[in-house]
Amino acid sequence: MQKLFSYGTLQQENVQLATFSRKLTGSPDVLVGYRLDEIAISDPAVVATSGKTHHPMLIRTENPADEVPGVIFEITDEELAQADRYEVKEYARVMATFRSGAQAWIYGDAREAKGQG
């Protein structure tokens, strides 16, 4: 099983059903050293699924006072691949450690993952 942190649209039941064909269960946790920003979504399929033209985006600050609450879901390898297909190119998947000590995948700013953030 994989662990995936959601702080935005992947917490929506309609997005989970459209992306994974099931409702996910998870545990609340907090990502420390990040803050939220917002990006415009141009992919019409993602907008149709989420019902939103703007999605939250994790921005790493490394400031321990910055925190983003969310949920860590347990998903299969195939579901992780499905999540990769759902997320637009502005997001990159990276591993992170949470306040609880858990490690999970997050989708953050792709510019940072490419060294441009």
- Helix pair 13-20, 77-86: axis angle to 10 deg: 110
**The two structure tokens encoding residue 23:** 């409702």
Whole-model pTM?
0.84
Domain range for 52: 2-113
CATH number of the domain that residue 36 is part of: 3.10.490.10
Question: How many domains does the chain contain in total?
Answer: 1
What pLDDT is stored for residue 24 in this prediction?
96
Q: What distance in Å separates the CA atoms of residue 15 and residue 33, rounded to the nearest whole number?
A: 27
pLDDT digits 0-9 by tens, 81-115 = 999 988 878 889 999 999 999 999 999 888 886 55
Sign of the four-CA dihedral 43, 47, 53, 55:
negative
Q: Average pLDDT of 4-29?
A: 94
> pLDDT for 24-75, tens place per residue?
999 999 999 999 988 777 778 876 877 877 778 899 999 999 999 999 999 9
